[in-house]
Amino acid sequence: MKHFINLEDLSTHDLNQIIDNAITLKKEHKTGQINKALESKTLAMIFDKSSTRTRVSFEAGMAQLGGHALFLSERDIQLGRGESIVDSAIVIGSMVDGIMMRVSSHNDINTFAQNANVPIINALSDESHPCQLLADMMTYKEHKGNIQGKTVTWIGDGNNMCQTYMQAASVFDFKLNIATPKGYEPESSFITQYQDYIKLCDNAKEACKNSDLVVTDVWASMGQEDEQAKREFAFKDFQVNSDLMQQANADASFMHCLPAHREEEVSSDVIDGMQSLVWDEAENRLHAQKALLLYLLS
Ligand code: CP
Ligand code: NVA
């Protein structure tokens, strides 16, 4: 049995196979081919944070594959009233074929994996967001080909998405420039672990030079809403706008996991412009996760 808690839980070979299968599944879906490979399978989806893309893509994906998805908000299940993580994991795991979790603490996902006897999928934690990277890598491949040896630039907060790009740099073998304001770098353990793949700086323009892909995310993640004003000030020189994109290679692409705040971390002309891949990136959550579900549950 395998889990998908971090990208590195699967080999580079298997991740590439999932991405290739996702590209095939996308074509099949668009030509109306039916695939019921997960008939009679159930995925529990535990959310203690908001979601549009993750919820819709997992729920629609399970339905399209003939299975069923259960939306479990922490507000509604006993976990939210203090039932222990371990007890919840044993019980939910005994009834379903897989569990997808979006929770604040990455450790809670690990605890579920140790106690629920089914595959666990990390659908965003404080530490990482591996499902998003599957979709991002699929999108890059569809538009530009192999990412190996390319240069990717992360602009903004050293958050869960940034840290997953660090993992992706090692798994898919690309160079990653990271530009954050001082004090907003990724966790030091990540910096140490991925030092061979990353270059850290606090100058966004410098970081974009020779880049094939520029990526950003919100300045205040879920749970950091009360830091919004402070962060707007700290990140004011880290907006991805056309000036910044001009530092990157002429054919560079732009990605953002969404939801986006236009005119904060990204200007409208960039996110809605020719270099932006964000709509395919969002749609590909569906196809990439269908391939992941087939890999883990069938
Ligand atoms: N990118 C992403 O995970 O979006 P949601 O928060 O809408 O699921
Ligand atoms: N860094 C963001 C990603 C949202 C998909 C957050 O954690 O809120």
* pLDDT for the residue 36: 98
Encode burial over 138-175: b for 16+ CB neighbours within 10 A, e otherwise: bbbbbeeeebeebbbbbbbbbbbbbbbbbbbbbbbebb
Q: Are residues 16 and 125 in the same domain?
A: yes
Q: How many domains does the chain have?
A: 2
Residue 161 to residue 126: CA distance in whole angstroms: 9
Length of the chain measured in residues: 298
Per the structure, the complete domain to which residue 121 belongs is given by 7-129+285-297
Residue 189 to residue 168: CA distance in whole angstroms: 16
Atom of ligand 1 at shortest range from CA of 124: 3
The distance from CA 257 to its chain's CA centroid, rounded to whole angstroms, is 7
Q: Are residues 109 and 204 in the same domain?
A: no
Is 212 in a helix, a strand, or coil? coil
Distance from Cα 104 to the centre of ligand 1, integer Å: 14
Q: Are residues 246 and 176 in the same domain?
A: yes
Ligand nearest to the CA of 225: 2
- Indicate whether this model's pTM tops 0.85: yes
* pLDDT for the residue 132: 99
CATH code at 103?
Answer: 3.40.50.1370
Residue 79 to residue 86: CA distance in whole angstroms: 10
List per-block mean pLDDT (blocks of 10 residues) for the chain, which spans 298 residues.
98 98 98 98 97 98 98 94 96 98 96 98 98 99 98 98 98 98 98 98 98 98 97 98 98 98 98 98 99 97
* pLDDT for the residue 292: 99
Instruction: Name the residue of 45, 48, 54, 102 whose CB sits within 8 Å of the most ligand 1 atoms, as the mutation to test its pocket.
Output: 54
> Catalytic: which of 108, 126, 212, 217?
217
Instruction: Name the residue of 46, 50, 51, 128 whose CB sits within 8 Å of the most ligand 1 atoms, as the mutation to test its pocket.
Output: 51
* Angle between the N-to-C axes of helices 53-64 and 278-297, in degrees from 0 to 180, rounded to the nearest 10: 50
Ligand nearest to the CA of 256: 1
